[in-house]
Amino acid sequence: MTRKLSKPTLVESYDISADSKRRISLRRTGSKYFSVFAFSDGTFKLEPRKLVPAEVTIERVERVPIPKGARRAAVRLAAAIDNLPRP
């Protein structure tokens, strides 16, 4: 199922000049970090960057074939783990 995102609306428009070090100041930004996209025509686009919370982790998985005979050995080992004596 896809979720439809609402289209952003223009909230404010203004002209600014870059300072001597080519820096510009943004007004009333709601975000501290941005993803910046520079285009060949001199246009810049900024998108608020959402940092991933520390508790959210993505499990990394490598998909590789396993060697012959490993399946049987793995099943036996799993059974041994299941039958471990519990205090």
Partner 1 sequence: MDILVPFSIRKKELGGTISEEARKLFTKIKQKPELAVGISAKGLPAHITLYKYYATTANGHRRLLFFSRHTTQGRIENWILLFYRTKGDEIGDNMSSKNPAFSTQLVKNMGFATEDLSGSTIDAPLYERF
Closest distance to partner 1 from the beta carbon of 56 (Å): 10
Q: Using the minimum distance from each CB to partner 1, give the nearer residue, 26 or 77.
A: 77
Q: Using the minimum distance from each CB to partner 1, give the nearer residue, 51 or 58.
A: 58
Q: Which residue has the tokens 């982790």?
A: 57
CA dihedral 63, 67, 69, 74 (to 10 degrees): -40
d(CA 71, CA 79) in angstroms, rounded, equals 12
Q: By CB under 8 A, what part of segment 24-83 binds partner 1? A: 57-71, 73-78, 80-83
Binding site for partner 1 (CB under 8 A): 57-71, 73-78, 80-87
